A = this chain, B = another copy of it.
């Protein structure tokens, strides 16, 4: 054992990270709502007593993970947690080798199976209400014949939340937008099956409420059946 082994790496929080933390705090606390504009870079730099470069770097970091979006010559806005916000995060992380659609779907199925089973076993009343709410919004959009990808997305995300596994939730958040994007581009979803999809969502929710993990997984697989088949064709 060398002497050097006794020294631990000193945690240095860079100025940028401090700023990142402050901005996040403002968002989490609700002081900054989705859609709000951040104060200008100059104002922030003056207020926080640091150079504008640090502010810009902090914004870039938050933009990279999808929390902020900068509009040139206009301002920086706070994103909501929806498809647009997270789109491409996986692509960013996976720049080296672009994900193929089959891998994407295969991974999704694995996660959804796990996620819905745990949700059935662990869900709280609040979770159920949140899923129900997402389902209602989805149904409302479909009835009006409006695009409902975002609402569909939220339904599955709420289930992941109900699984009480924060990592699974984050991974779903990363992977789902990339899949949805392909759905929309290639029109995988058959227009005529909208009502069938609603029924499937309802079956899944019912199984979760009943606490029936097996049933929940079964219904989820049924729900994902079309996508699985489609990904096999593309392969």
Give me the interface of A with B, judged by CB distance under 8 Å: 20, 24, 28, 57, 60-61, 64-65, 67, 89-90, 92-97, 99-100, 103-104, 106-107, 110-111, 114, 164-168, 170-171, 174-175
Write the chain B residue with the least CB distance to A171. Answer: B171
Would you call B20 and A99 a contact (CB within 8 A)? no
Counting from the closest, the 8 A-B pairs by CB-CB distance are: A107-B167, A103-B167, A103-B165, A103-B166, A110-B114, A99-B167, A94-B170, A99-B166
Would you call B61 and A171 a contact (CB within 8 A)? no
- List, sorted by A's number, 23 A–B pairs whose CB atoms are closer than 8 Å: A20-B95, A24-B95, A24-B96, A28-B96, A60-B60, A61-B64, A64-B64, A65-B92, A67-B96, A90-B167, A90-B170, A93-B93, A94-B167, A99-B167, A100-B166, A103-B164, A103-B165, A104-B167, A106-B168, A107-B165, A107-B167, A107-B171, A110-B114
Query: In angstroms, how far is the closest chain B Cβ from the Cβ of A19?
Result: 13
Q: How far is the CA of A94 from the CA of B24 in the complex (A)?
A: 12
Mostly, the A contact residues are: helix
Most buried by B among A61, A93, A167, A168: A167
Query: In angstroms, how far is the closest chain B Cβ from the Cβ of A20?
Result: 7
Most buried by B among A60, A93, A114: A93
Would you call A93 and B103 a contact (CB within 8 A)? no
Given A60-B57, A170-B99, does the pair A93, B106 have CB atoms closer than 8 Å?
no
Query: In angstroms, how far is the closest chain B Cβ from the Cβ of A156?
Result: 16
Write the chain B residue with the least CB distance to A107. Answer: B167
